[in-house]
Amino acid sequence: MIQDRSWAGAGRWLLSAVVALAAGLLLAETLVAQAYVPPDYGADFPVIGSRAAVWIVAQVHLMFAAFVLGVPMFAVIAEAIALFGGEDRYDRLAKEFTRLLLVAYSATALLGGLFVFLLTTLYPALWSYLSEVFRISMWMYAGIFFAESATLYMYYYGWDQWKKGRAKLGHWGLGLLLNVWGTIALLIANSWLTFMMSPPGDLTPDTSPATVQFWSAFANATWMPINVHRLIANAVFGGAIVAAYAAYRFLKAKSDEERAHYDWMGYVGNMIAIGVFLVLPFAGYYLGREIYEFNQQMGVTMMGGFMSWLWIIQAFLIGVLFLAGNYYLWIGLGRIPGGERFAPYTKWMLLVLVVGVIVWATPHTMIADRAELAAMGGTFHPFLQPLGVMSAKNTAVNLMILTTFLSFLLYRRANKNPTVSWARTGTLSQGIVLLVCALVVLFYGIAGYFVPAIVRIGFSVYQVLAVLFTIIAVLVLDILIARGAESRGDIRWGRMPPRSQYALFVLVVTFTWLMGLMGFARSGIRQHWHVYEIVQDTSAYAATPALGYAAQIISASVVIFFLMLAFVFWIGGMIAKPALVPAAADAAAAEPVPGGSPGRSGSGADRGGGLEPGLEPLPGT
Amino acid sequence: MGAVDLKVGGVVFGTILVFTLVANAIPQVQSDVPELIAFGAEVTAEELVAAGEGLFEGAGGCIACHAESAGARGPNLVTDYQGEGTIGQRCGDRIPGLDCKEYLYQSLTLPVDHLVDDYPPIMPALDRTMNPQQVWAVVAFLQSLGGEVTVTGADIPTEDAAGDAGGGLAAAGIPGVAGSDPVEIVNQECALCHLFAGGGIELGPPLDGLGARMTADEIRISILEPGAGVSEGYEELLGAMPATFGDRFTATQLESVVSYLSGLE
Ligand code: HEM
Task: Give pLDDT tens digits for A240-257.
Answer: 999 999 999 899 888 998
With beta carbons under 8 A apart, name residues in chain B contacting A39: 30
Q: Which of A39-43, A70-74, A297-301 has the lowest mean pLDDT?
A: A39-43
Range scoring the smallest mean pLDDT among A18-22, A76-80, B29-33: A18-22
B254 CB within 8 Å of a chain A CB: yes
CB atoms within 10 A of CB A201: 12
Residues sharing a CB contact under 8 Å with residue A62, sequence separation 6 or more, in sequence order: A515, A519
Q: Do residues A325 and A507 lie in contact, with contact meaning Cβ atoms separated by under 8 Å?
A: yes
Which atom of ligand 1 is least distant from the CA of A514?
10
Phi, psi of A487 (to 5 degrees): -95, 140
CA distance B42 to chain A (A): 28
| A10 part of a folded domain | no
pLDDT, residue A58, reads 96
A183 pLDDT band, cuts 50/70/90, is very high
Dihedral angle sign, alpha carbons of residues A345, A401, A310, A516: negative
pLDDT at A590: 39
Partners of residue B20 in chain A, C-beta under 8 Å: 551-552, 554-555
Q: Read off the pLDDT of each residue in A504-518 and give the average, rounded to a whole number.
A: 96
Distance A277 CA to ligand 1 centre (A): 11
Instruction: Give the ligand 1 atom nearest the CA of A190.
Output: 41
Residue A34 has pLDDT above 60, yes or no: no
CA distance linking residue A446 with residue A67, whole number of Å: 40
| Centroid of ligand 1 to alpha carbon of B10 (angstroms) | 27
Q: Give the nearest chain B residue to A123 (CA atoms).
A: B247
- Which ligand 1 atom lies nearest to the CA of residue A515? 12
pLDDT tens per residue, range B212-242: 888 888 888 888 777 666 677 777 776 677 7
Q: What are the chain B neighbours of A44 within 8 Å (beta carbons)?
A: 225, 227, 243
Structural domains counted in chain A: 1
For A266, the domain range is: 49-336+491-581
**A19 has a chain B CB within 8 A of its CB:** no
Contact A307, A524 (CB under 8 A): yes
SS3 (DSSP) at A181: helix
B116 touches chain A (CB under 8 A): no
**pLDDT tens per residue across span A255-289:** 998 899 999 999 989 988 988 888 887 788 788 87
Take atom 21 of ligand 1 and give the residue whose Cα is closest: A284
**What are the tens digits of pLDDT across the range A327-357?**
998 888 888 887 777 878 888 888 888 888 8
User: Domain locations in chain B?
Assistant: 45-156, 182-262
- Tell me the residues of chain B between 51 and 110 that have a Cβ less than 8 Å away from chain A: 57-58, 61, 63-65, 67, 69, 72-73
**Alpha-carbon span A320 to A357, nearest angstrom:** 9
Give the other-Cβ count within 10 Å of A228's Cβ.
Answer: 17
CA dist list (Å): A395 to A364, A398, A438, B263? 14, 5, 9, 60
* 8 A C-beta contact, residue A511 and residue A236: yes
Percent over 70 (pLDDT), chain B: 84
Contacts of B224 in chain A (CB under 8 A): 42, 539-540
Phi, psi (deg, nearest 5) at residue A490:
-80, 160
Please tell me if residue B25 touches chain A, with a CB cutoff of 8 Å: yes
Average pLDDT over every residue of A138-150: 91
User: Which pLDDT band holds residue A232 (cuts at 50, 70, 90)?
Assistant: very high
| The ligand 1 atom nearest the CA atom of A287 | 29
A79 inside domain: yes
In the predicted model, is pLDDT for residue A493 greater than 80?
yes
Q: What chain A residue is nearest to B17 in terms of C-alpha separation?
A: A555
- CB neighbour list of residue A458: distance below 8 Å, 6 or more residues apart: none
Query: How would residue A556 be classed by pLDDT, with cut points 50, 70 and 90?
Result: very high
Considering only residues 91 to 120 of chain A, which have any Cβ-Cβ distance to chain B shorter than 8 Å?
A: none
Options 3.40.640.10, 1.10.760.10, 1.20.1560.10, 3.20.20.120; CATH of B45-156: 1.10.760.10
Within a domain: A466: no
Is A225 part of any domain?
Answer: yes
DSSP A100: H
CB contact under 8 A, A552 and B20: yes
Q: Which of A42, A537, A546 faces B29 most closely, judged by CB atoms?
A: A546
Is residue A584 predicted with pLDDT exceeding 50? no
pLDDT at B165: 39
pLDDT of residue B263: 85
DSSP labels for B104-149?
HHHHHHSGGGGPPTT--S-PPPGGGTS-HHHHHHHHHHHHHTTS--
Pocket of ligand 1 (CB under 6 A): A 62, 66, 193, 226, 229-230, 233-234, 280-281, 284-285, 287-288, 318, 514-515, 518-519, 521-522
pLDDT in tens, B190-216: 887 788 888 877 778 889 888 888 888
The whole-angstrom distance between A311's CA and the closest CA on chain B is: 11
* ipTM score: 0.78
Domain assignment of residue A602, yes or no: no
Least confident of A88-102, A107-121, A403-417, B36-50: B36-50
CA distance A146 to A112: 14
Tell which of B4, B36, B247, B254 to mutate to test the A interface (max A CBs under 10 Å).
B247
Between the CA of A218 and the centroid of ligand 1 the distance, in Å, is 20
Residue B244 contacts A where some CB pair is shorter than 8 Å:
yes
Look at A463 and B172; give whichever has higher pLDDT.
A463
| Inter-chain CB proximity A550 and B23 less than 8 Å | yes
Does residue A296 sit at the B interface (CB-CB below 8 Å)?
A: yes
Is-above-0.80 flag for pTM?
no
Least reliable range by pLDDT among A150-154, A289-293, B27-31, B101-105: B27-31
* A386 in contact with chain B, both atoms CB, cutoff 8 A: no
> Is A33 a member of any domain?
no
A312 and B26 in contact by Cβ < 8 A?
A: yes
Please report which confidence band the pLDDT of residue A413 belongs to, taking 50, 70 and 90 as the band edges.
Answer: confident
- A546, B24 contact by CB (below 8 A): no
Q: Which atom of ligand 1 is nearest to the CA of A226?
A: 38
The residues, any chain, with a CB within 8 Å of residue A82's CB and separated by 6 or more, are: A88, A89, A90, A91, A94
Nearest CA to ligand 1 atom 33: A518
Q: At what angle do helices A165-197 and A498-524 cross, to 10 degrees?
A: 40
